[in-house]
Amino acid sequence: MVKAAGHYGMLHPTCLAESLALYYLLQRQGVSADLRIGVRKTSDEFEAHAWVEYAGAALNQPDDQHRHYAAFDRGFSDQPGDPL
């Protein structure tokens, strides 16, 4: 649903915007997913990427794309007292 909205909508969101929307929707439904953010350095560029994982599988992208990034710890997306 999130991917379709980004594809057919007037705006084309970044991986972070898509991941945040998907993470929010899953949390509202009681699905315990993880928001993951990773980084990598290629030649002179620093790149970041975001995705959502459930049971170790990336939900909003091809499975191998996120493996090129060093991800922050899973606890990065946990916030104490989060009302979601």
| Separation of alpha carbons 63 and 1, rounded Å | 18
> Could you count the other beta carbons within 10 Å of the beta carbon of residue 60?
20
The verdict on residue 83 lying in a domain is no
pLDDT of the residue at 10: 61
The verdict on residue 66 lying in a domain is yes
Per-residue pLDDT of the chain in tens (84 residues, 90 and over written 9): 565 555 565 666 788 988 998 999 999 999 999 998 888 888 888 888 898 989 888 888 776 777 777 777 766 555 555 554
pLDDT of the residue at 26: 92
The verdict on residue 57 lying in a domain is yes
CA 6 to chain centre: 14
Domain that holds residue 14: 2-77
pLDDT of the residue at 27: 92
Of 38, 41, 44, 43, nearest to 76 (Cα)?
Answer: 38
The verdict on residue 13 lying in a domain is yes
| Separation of alpha carbons 50 and 16, rounded Å | 5
